[in-house]
Amino acid sequence: MIEHPFSFGISPSLTLFDTQDRKIQRKLSDLRGHFTDRAALEELVRVGDPIAYEVLDVPRPERAGELISGLSILHPGVVGAEYFMTKGHFHSVRGTAEIYYCLSGAGMLLMENEQGEWKSEILTPGRVVYVAPGWAHRSINTNSDQRLVTFFVYPANAGHDYGAIEGRGFRKLVLRKNDRPEVVDNPHWRASAPEQR
């Protein structure tokens, strides 16, 4: 592990260079339970199970003071009416924030906290979203044919808590309606909480 300052690059084709990155790929089958239209998801899994998103990050020791940064690459597509999206998570250490900087494509960052508030922010090239401590976050690709690429930075000791979101989903869904994104209430949000946790 490098213990000195270092630099790396992001190429025009939006991949990292001059660094050893770690790559995570999530297929639609890894996102079971996250999309509302389960039948549509299973059909897409059956006909090829496409990659929904990839994360390239530069590993660092998971201790306070270090930062983890990298690229999140969300492919275009829909499951039923819901755009391809990330699983979404709280940071295990709730007091840790994150920065998202959009490099390419178009989408949204959907956020909510444990006090019942929610917020959505637009992601277009040049926009920066500050995810405040304690806010769960999920990115959504609302463009029908382009990748949504964001650069992120977060404290290396943050950890990822997927359980709370897997149990009850986000309060809001982002659906494609007349080829435009619309934020609507998640009808299953309360009902699904007790039985799935």
Q: Which residues bind ligand F6R (CB under 6 A)?
A: 55, 72, 86-89, 98, 137, 139, 152, 154, 158, 160
Q: Round to whole Å and give the CA distance between 136 and 120.
A: 11
Minimum CB distance to Zn ion, residue 68 (Å): 9
Q: Which residue is nearest to Zn ion (CB)?
A: 98
Q: Round to whole Å and give the CA distance between 48 and 133.
A: 37
Among 62, 140, 152, 63, residue whose Cα is nearest residue 105: 140
Which region among 6-14, 20-28, 97-105, 188-196 touches Zn ion (by CB under 5 A)? Answer: 97-105
What Rg, from alpha-carbon coordinates, does the chain have? 17
* Residue 164 exposure: Cα atoms within 13 Å on the Cβ side: 18
- Is 98 a binding residue for Zn ion by CB under 5 A? The answer is yes
* Contact of residue 86 among ligand F6R, Zn ion, none (CB under 5-8 Å per partner type): ligand F6R
Minimum CB distance to ligand F6R, residue 178 (Å): 27
**First vs last Cα of the chain: how many Å apart?**
38
Minimum CB distance to ligand F6R, residue 151 (Å): 10
The residues of the shown chain that bind Zn ion, judged by CB under 5 A, are 98
